[in-house]
Amino acid sequence: MPLKLINAILNCPLTLGGRTSCRSDRGLLSRNRASKVSVLLRLAITVVMGSLPSSTLGQNNSSVTNALSLSGAKQMAFARNWDLLAAQSGIDAAQAQLIVAREFSNPIASLSTAKIGDRESGTVLGNGLVDRNYDSIAAVSQLIEIGGKRRARQMAARAGIAGARARFFDARRLLEQGVTKNYVADLLAKENARILNESARMLRHEADIAQARLNAGDISDSDEKQIEINADTFELQAKSAEAVAVQARIAVEILLGMEQPEGHWTPADSLAQISVAAPQFDRSEANATRPDILAAEADLQQSKSNLKLQKAMRIPDPTLSLGAEHEPPGGGPPIDTLNVGVSFPLPLWNFNRGEIKAAQSVVDQNSFALEKIKAQMVSDIAHAQSEFREASERWLRYQNQIIPKSQTVRESVVFAYEKGGATLVDLLEAERADNDARLAAAQAQADTASAVADLKAATEVIKNQIIRQ
C-alpha cells in the first residue's frame, strides 16, 4: 500500500525518513482514535517499511528511483528491453514454423451416394425415395509429398530457427552497447556539470577578493563584474550539462524497458570506475563469429532450402485413395466393392518458374547481404580500434601532462592576481584554460569508455553450436 494512502487512512502527514507525525492541534487525530488498532496498524507499517531494501525500483510508475550501476543496468535491460523480448518471441515463431514443416497433411474422408434419381433401383418395398437401393461409396485419400519437398521445408524451418536465435544474440549485443554508451553519456554530463560548478565557485571566490580590491581602489568596477559574468556563464553551462545528463538517463530507461522514463535515478559508477581496457579478440577461434553474420548465414541457408523446395514443386504430388462401395441390388444379395486410386496434377502449363526465379533472387540478395556484413564487421573492428587508440592516448596525455600544467598555471595566476601581480585578463584566461582542459579530459575519458563499448560490440562472437542447438 502506498505511503500516502496509508497515512491518509491514519490521518497522519508524512515526515522525513518515512515516519508519521500526528498533530493534535490540527484536529486530524483525536484521543478516541488513538486506539490499540491504530497503534498496531502503525507499528505493522513501520515494520514492513523498515524491511524493504533502501534501493528498489518504483512499483507504481515503473521508473528507476535509486542508484544504478552499469552492470545492474545491463542486467535489467537484458530482462526487460522490448526489442530483446520481441527477438525472443521471434525464436518461438520460428520454432512454430518447424512444427508446421514436420506435420503431414490431413487425409480427406469422403462419403457419396449414387442412384438417387435412378427409377430402376426400386426394391420389393417400392421405388420411393426411401424404399429404393442406393449405391454408397466411402473413401479416404492422402496426399503424398515426393521429390524432397518435406525435407527442404524442414531444412528451411531449422535455418529460420538458427537465424532467429542469432538475431536475438545480435539484439543483445547492440543493447549492451547502447546501454553502455548512454550510461557513459550520463556520467560525462554529470562530470561536466561538476567541473563547471567548481570553476564557477572558484570565480565566485575571486569575485569576493575582487570586491575587496575594488573597495581599496585597486581595480575598477568593470573588472569585478567581468569575473561575476564568467562565473554566471559557467553556472549556466553547468545547468545545461545537468539537462543533458537527464536526457541520457531517460535514454537508458528506455533501453531498460521502463514504462515511464523520467530520469529519476543516479548512476552508481563514475568514469574512473568504468573499465577502459580494450577487450581481446581472437580471430582464430574456430566456429565462432559475430551474431549478425550467423543470422545472415542462416538467412542464406534458409533461402537456399526454399529454392530447393520451389524446384521440387515442379514434381506433381500424387494423392492415394482407398474406398469401399456398397450396392445392394433389388431382391438379391448386396455387392461390396473395394476401390484403390491415385490422382496427381498434370504439369502441362505451370512449371513453377515464377516461384523458382523469385527464390533464386532471394538467394542472391542474401548472399550479397552476407558479404556486406562480413565487410562491415572488419570495418567496425578497424574503426573501433582506431577510435580506442586515439581516445586512450588523448586521455592519458590530458591526465599526465595537460591537466597538471593547467592547474599549476591557474594557481600561479590566481596567487599573482590576489597579490596584485596579474591582470584580470590573465586570471580569466587561466581559469578558462584550466576549465577547458578538465572538460576535454573528461570528454577523452568518456570517448575511451565509449570506444571500449564499440570495440566489444564489434568483436563479440558466439559459437555456431549455440545457434544451431
Q: How far apart are CA 363 and CA 445, in angstroms?
A: 45
Confidence of residue 359 (pLDDT cuts 50, 70, 90): very high
Contact 417, 174 (CB under 8 A): no
pLDDT at 205: 84
What's the CA angle centered on 23, arms 22 and 29, to 5 degrees? 70
Q: Please give the single-letter amino acid code of residue 129.
A: L
Residues 139-173: tens digit of each pLDDT: 999 999 999 999 999 999 999 999 999 999 999 99
- Low-confidence winner among 21-30, 109-118, 341-350 (lowest mean pLDDT): 21-30
pLDDT at 185: 95
Handedness of CA 241, 242, 247, 252 (dihedral sign): positive
Contact 392, 441 (CB under 8 A): no
- Low-confidence winner among 33-37, 109-113, 150-154, 189-193 (lowest mean pLDDT): 33-37
Residues 319-347: tens digit of each pLDDT: 999 998 877 655 455 667 888 999 989 98
Name the phi and psi angles at 413, rounded to 5.
Answer: -70, -40
Contacts of 182 (CB under 8 A, 6+ apart): 248, 251, 252, 255
pLDDT at 32: 41
Residues 199-216: tens digit of each pLDDT: 999 888 888 877 776 776
Cell 552499469, located at residue: 70
Q: How far apart are CA 237 and CA 214, in angstroms?
A: 27
Cell of 134: 442406393
Q: How far apart are CA 291 and CA 90, in angstroms?
A: 15
Q: Please give the single-letter amino acid code of residue 302.
A: Q
What's the CA angle centered on 194, arms 189 and 200, to 5 degrees? 125
What's the CA angle centered on 442, arms 439 and 447, to 5 degrees? 125
pLDDT higher at 90 or 128: 90
pLDDT higher at 120 or 274: 274
pLDDT at 208: 81
pLDDT at 358: 96
Strands 266-267 and 288-289: unpaired
Confidence of residue 49 (pLDDT cuts 50, 70, 90): very low
**pLDDT, mean of residues 108-137:** 67
Q: How far apart are CA 350 and CA 314, in angstroms?
A: 8
- Rg value, the chain, Cα: 39
Confidence of residue 284 (pLDDT cuts 50, 70, 90): low
Confidence of residue 116 (pLDDT cuts 50, 70, 90): low
SS3 450: helix
Tell me which long-range contacts 101-105 makes (C-beta under 8 A, separation of at least 24). Answer: 101/150, 101/153, 101/154, 101/156, 101/157, 102/154, 105/142, 105/143, 105/145
pLDDT at 131: 54
Name the phi and psi angles at 367, rounded to 5.
Answer: -65, -45
**How many helices (H) and strands (E) would you count in the chain?**
11, 8
Q: Which of 96, 101, 93, 97 is nearest to 154 (CA)?
A: 101
Please give the distance of CA 331 from its chain centroid, rounded to a whole number: 79
Mean pLDDT score of the chain, rounded to an integer? 81
Contact 248, 182 (CB under 8 A): yes
pLDDT higher at 205 or 182: 182
Q: How far apart are the first and last CA of the chain?
A: 46
Say which DSSP state 316 is in. Answer: P
Q: How far apart are CA 330 and CA 119, in angstroms?
A: 12
**pLDDT, mean of residues 452-465:** 87
Q: Which of 110, 113, 101 is nearest to 142 (CA)?
A: 110
Percent of all residues in the chain with a pLDDT value above 90, rounded to a whole number: 56
Say which DSSP state 115 is in. Answer: -
- Asked whether residue 18 carries a pLDDT value surpassing 90, the answer given is no
Residues 269-282: tens digit of each pLDDT: 988 888 676 666 66
Q: How far apart are CA 262 and CA 251, in angstroms?
A: 9
Residues 300-319: tens digit of each pLDDT: 999 999 999 999 999 999 99
pLDDT at 115: 67
- Asked whether residue 45 carries a pLDDT value surpassing 60, the answer given is no
What's the CA angle centered on 178, arms 164 and 284, to 5 degrees? 60
Cell 591582470, located at residue: 423
pLDDT at 209: 77
Contact 135, 111 (CB under 8 A): no
- Supply the pTM of this predicted model: 0.76
